Amino acid sequence: MPDMTKTPDRSRTRFPGISSRAYEHPADRSALVALRSLTGFDTVLRRLSGLFSERAIRLMFLGGSVRVGEDQFRNIHDMVRDSSYILDFDEVPELYVVQDPTPNAMAIGTDKPFIVINTGLLDLLDDEELRYVVGHEVGHILSGHAVYRTMLLILTSLGARLAWLPLGNIGIAAIIMGLQEWQRKSELSADRAGLLTSQDPEAVKRALMKMAGGSRLTEMNAEAFHAQAREYDAAGDVRDGLLKFLNLMRRSHPYAVVRFAEIDRWAREGEYQRILDGAYPRRADDRDAKISDEVKNAANAYRESWSRTADPFIGKVRDVAEGAASAAEGLFDRIGRRGGGGQTREN
């Protein structure tokens, strides 16, 4: 249990034993369940990262930023402690504040991940909006995103050495595109974790609006911003849809309007409320999660998003995407049957 330095904030619902599967986007969750099944590899990665890169990075922030605590940035320390308490995380991650005007936050590390928040974000957001951001980063840590992102980056780096082979560049580009798509979905997962810790959908939306348009919230309107998200989704014609796809390449995060629409839908359509009511998967059952089931959930989530979208480009490629999704489901069904159900170990 987190080491609470004062009475935790009990005005928000707490989720004892909650699994990160409760808030993970299906596409993110299927990738994580598959990666967690690689027994032993993540343990080796944790140790290597701890010996080499993570120590250096931690020392860099220890020497060049401010570590929050009882005596420094006490209100942010309370937020990270409360987020850990609400998500029943077994420790309170360290958090560092860095002098940087760019509004940004991140979770770093594999052996003992920690959070970094730029002063630009502190200056931009009010306390309730900042609470969502802190919960977002705690969600990344609870899901193990930092660990598995590092694993995939290492695999990509190894693969890049084979780029000289015939068609090597095409193969590496496909891997990178897949990693970036997963990373964007992991941001949607962390947004949901941020909402679960803040339990204030309007504060989450305000934060996303400010990340897009700056601090002058009085000049912005939530309904108009949502309409902007619908217009972005619909695009104009197939050319616009293709340009949207190209614009997303190499982006680590979905656009703010997309995140706004996604968190609004998740908050309204019942899953968020079910978790608040106590109906959520438990960490103790993580070992029973099956890769084949999660791949099907991811495929269904994509199908639902394709059916909702008005993007004409998606309409043109939907049949190809459906075929790929069905092929993936069949492949993991066969793997699951051969592997005795495809069970994974606990994270």
Model pTM score: 0.77
d(Cα 314, Cα 15) in Å, to the nearest integer?
37
In a domain, 6, yes or no: no
- pLDDT > 60? residue 60: yes
Note whether residue 278 is domain-resident: yes
- pLDDT-wise least confident of 39-48, 63-72, 322-331: 322-331
| pLDDT tens figures, 245-274 | 777 777 778 999 999 999 999 999 999 999
Residues paired with 282 in a beta bridge:
18
Q: Is residue 71 part of a domain?
A: yes
Q: Which two tokens stand for residue 225?
A: 């911003």
Residue 245: Cβ-neighbour burial (10 angstroms; 0-12, 13-18, 19+) = middle
pLDDT band with cut points at 50, 70 and 90 for residue 243: confident
pLDDT classification of 25: cutoffs 50, 70, 90? confident
Give domain status of residue 211, yes or no: yes
Instruction: Give the total number of structural domains in the chain.
Output: 1
For residue 245, what pLDDT is reported?
73
- Residue 3 — very low, low, confident or very high, per pLDDT cuts 50/70/90? very low
Does 321 map to a domain? yes
CA distance 193 to 187: 10
5: left (phi over 0), alpha (psi -120 to 50) or beta: alpha
The boundaries of the domain holding residue 124 are: 20-338
- Asked if the model's pLDDT at residue 347 lies above 50, the reply is no
Query: Could you confirm whether 137 is annotated as catalytic?
Result: yes
For residues 271, 189, 26, 41, the Cα torsion angle rounded to the nearest 10 degrees is -140
Give the start-end residues of each E strand in 74-210: 95-98, 105-108, 114-118
pLDDT higher at 306 or 35: 35
- What pLDDT score was predicted for residue 299? 57
Residue 271 contacts residue 339 (beta carbons within 8 Å) = no
Q: Quick one: DSSP state of residue 267?
A: H
- The whole-angstrom separation of Cα 188 and Cα 258 is 9
Q: State the catalytic residue, choosing from 54, 129, 137, 262.
A: 137
The DSSP result for 11-71, as a single string, is: SS---TTB-GGGTS-HHHHHHHHHHHTSTTHHHHHHHHHHHTHHHHHHHHHHHHSEE-SSS
Residue type, 334: R
- Is residue 117 pLDDT above 60, yes or no? yes
DSSP 310: -
Q: Average pLDDT, stretch 101-124? A: 92
pLDDT, tens only, 44-57: 655 555 545 677 88
- Unique residue bearing structure tokens 């949207």: 244
pLDDT tens digits for range 295-339: 565 556 555 654 555 555 555 555 544 554 455 455 445 544 554
| Average pLDDT of the chain to the nearest whole number | 78
Q: Domain for residue 257, yes or no? A: yes
Beta-carbon contacts of 1 under 8 Å, excluding residues fewer than 6 positions away, are 90
For position 244, what pLDDT does the model report? Answer: 76
Q: Determine, yes or no, domain membership for 10.
A: no
In a domain? residue 290:
yes
Q: Hey, which residues does 108 pair with through a beta bridge? A: 114
SS3 call for 107: strand
Distance from C-alpha of 154 to C-alpha of 28, rounded to nearest angstrom: 19
Residue 292 contacts residue 342 (beta carbons within 8 Å): yes
CA dist 45 and 166 (Å) reads: 30
Cα distance between residue 347 and residue 332, in whole Å = 20
